[in-house]
Homo-oligomer: A and B are copies of this chain.
Amino acid sequence: MPAPGPNLKRATIRDVAALAGVSIGTASKALNGQGKLRAETRDRVAAAARELGFAPNVLARGLLAGRTFTVGVITTDSFGRFSIPVMLGAEDALGAGQISVFMCDTRDEPERERQYLDMLLSRRVDGLIVAGRRIEPRPSIGLTLGVPVVYAMTQSMDSDEPAILPDDAGGGRLAAEHLLALGRRRFGHITGPERFLAARKRARGFCDAMAGAGLPFTANDVLYGEWSEAWGREAARLVMRTTPGVDAIFCGSDQIARGVSDTLRLIGCRVPEDIALVGFDNWSPMVLGADPSLTSVDMCLEDVGRVAAQHLLLAISKEPTHGVHTVPCRLVTRGSTSPGTS
């Protein structure tokens, strides 16, 4: 029973001690399994605690312990599509260690970031995770904060600070290998703006795999544009015009793939029979809404968050890590590359 009854004030250890007829120190030991106590005493205290619905005041405990068992997660992403799974993963890993999370969304405003940082520091968080929506290096949030920091789905311009990123290049490679295994030989790659590091890395992975297979697809063949369906629709026509015989298209995002898919259907091109299609992000509403559903590369952002949290826990226990670490992607196969799958 979490409910302490209709008491206005929650029970303190003092109340428990009184009810059990022991001293306050003894009650503490009994509750925490410390020191040497008679089993009977231990039980009596436990019973009293249960009766009062006692839950220790974590603040008081933290004050003494010098740590709070909380960490802050600062995201620039408006709790968006990318930082959410990262947070879930982090919360998961931290929650197992009884650590709670303050979530802060800066909406990409430096001023808010500063405010949140102040707030978190005065709440004496044990550590900080800085999450982003782009993997580009960003200004460090502070090198002398006195608490460990891990970057997730972004990295610090100070390259020594620990950062966890998805393996975008590996994701591009996965897509290429899948399409090659299907026997496709004539490719297109439609993706977001070239100024996005993620777009460049995915393209590089894709091209590397092509080169490895002895195929002529090179960096020059990559179609950079926008992260939108509209660009997918436009680029699809472009590819059909400029690449006769194309039998596979890898898209840098599911939204782009969605646009491509729509246009192919409209011009009477069958997916996957004529053209196999692979997206990126594995974003449910997009990949499942498409017809046929989209094969896509999943960045496993929950893992990114989880790993970031693990690095943070290490740092908190004085075993800090350094530099960039990547987490592998995963390919999820669906109808757009394999007929029967729908």
Q: Could you tell me which A residues sit within 8 Å of B by CB distance?
A: 2-10, 55-60, 62-63, 68, 78-79, 84, 87-88, 91, 98, 100-105, 114, 117-119, 121-124, 142-146, 228-230, 233, 255, 258-259, 262, 265-266, 285-286, 288-289, 291
Give the shortest distance, in Å, between A99 (CB) and chain B (any CB). Answer: 10
Docked CA distance A230–B285 (Å): 11
Q: Can you name 8 A-B pairs with beta carbons within 8 Å? A: A2-B114, A2-B121, A4-B146, A59-B62, A78-B88, A229-B288, A229-B291, A255-B285
Give the 5 A-B residue pairs with the shortest CB-CB distance, closest first: A55-B122, A229-B289, A103-B103, A6-B144, A59-B59
Please determine whether A228 and B88 come into contact, CB atoms closer than 8 angstroms.
no
Please determine whether B142 and A2 come into contact, CB atoms closer than 8 angstroms.
yes
Q: A3-B145, A105-B91 are contacts. A59–B63 as well, Cβ < 8 Å?
A: yes
Please determine whether A3 and B144 come into contact, CB atoms closer than 8 angstroms.
yes
Give the shortest distance, in Å, between A259 (CB) and chain B (any CB). Answer: 7
Q: A79-B84, A100-B102, A124-B10 are contacts. A117–B2 as well, Cβ < 8 Å?
A: yes
Please determine whether A10 and B121 come into contact, CB atoms closer than 8 angstroms.
yes
Docked CA distance A105–B103 (Å): 12
Please determine whether B230 and A291 come into contact, CB atoms closer than 8 angstroms.
yes
Docked CA distance A102–B291 (Å): 39
- Name A69's closest neighbour in chain B (CB-CB): B123
Task: Choose one: B3, B100, B118, B145; the contact of A119 (CB below 8 Å).
Answer: B100
Task: Choose one: B4, B59, B78, B288; the contact of A144 (CB below 8 Å).
Answer: B4
Task: Choose one: B5, B7, B60, B102; the contact of A63 (CB below 8 Å).
Answer: B60
Which chain B residues border A60 with CB–CB below 8 Å?
63
Task: Choose one: B7, B56, B101, B259; the contact of A103 (CB below 8 Å).
Answer: B101
Which chain B residues border A286 with CB–CB below 8 Å?
285
Q: A10-B146, A62-B59 are contacts. A88–B105 as well, Cβ < 8 Å?
A: yes
Please determine whether A101 and B100 come into contact, CB atoms closer than 8 angstroms.
no
Which chain B residues border A8 with CB–CB below 8 Å?
146
Docked CA distance A2–B145 (Å): 8
Task: Choose one: B10, B57, B255, B265; the contact of A289 (CB below 8 Å).
Answer: B255
Which chain B residues border A78 with CB–CB below 8 Å?
88
Give the shortest distance, in Å, between A88 (CB) and chain B (any CB). Answer: 6
Which chain B residues border A59 with CB–CB below 8 Å?
59, 62-63, 68, 123-124
- Name A66's closest neighbour in chain B (CB-CB): B9
Docked CA distance A298–B215 (Å): 48
- Name A61's closest neighbour in chain B (CB-CB): B122
Which chain B residues border A291 with CB–CB below 8 Å?
229-230, 233, 262
Please determine whether B144 and A57 come into contact, CB atoms closer than 8 angstroms.
no
Docked CA distance A275–B8 (Å): 59
- Name A233's closest neighbour in chain B (CB-CB): B291
Docked CA distance A79–B121 (Å): 25
Q: A145-B3, A291-B233 are contacts. A122–B56 as well, Cβ < 8 Å?
A: yes
Give the shortest distance, in Å, between A328 (CB) and chain B (any CB). Answer: 23
Task: Choose one: B98, B230, B262; the contact of A262 (CB below 8 Å).
Answer: B262
Which chain B residues border A91 with CB–CB below 8 Å?
103-105
- Name A5's closest neighbour in chain B (CB-CB): B144
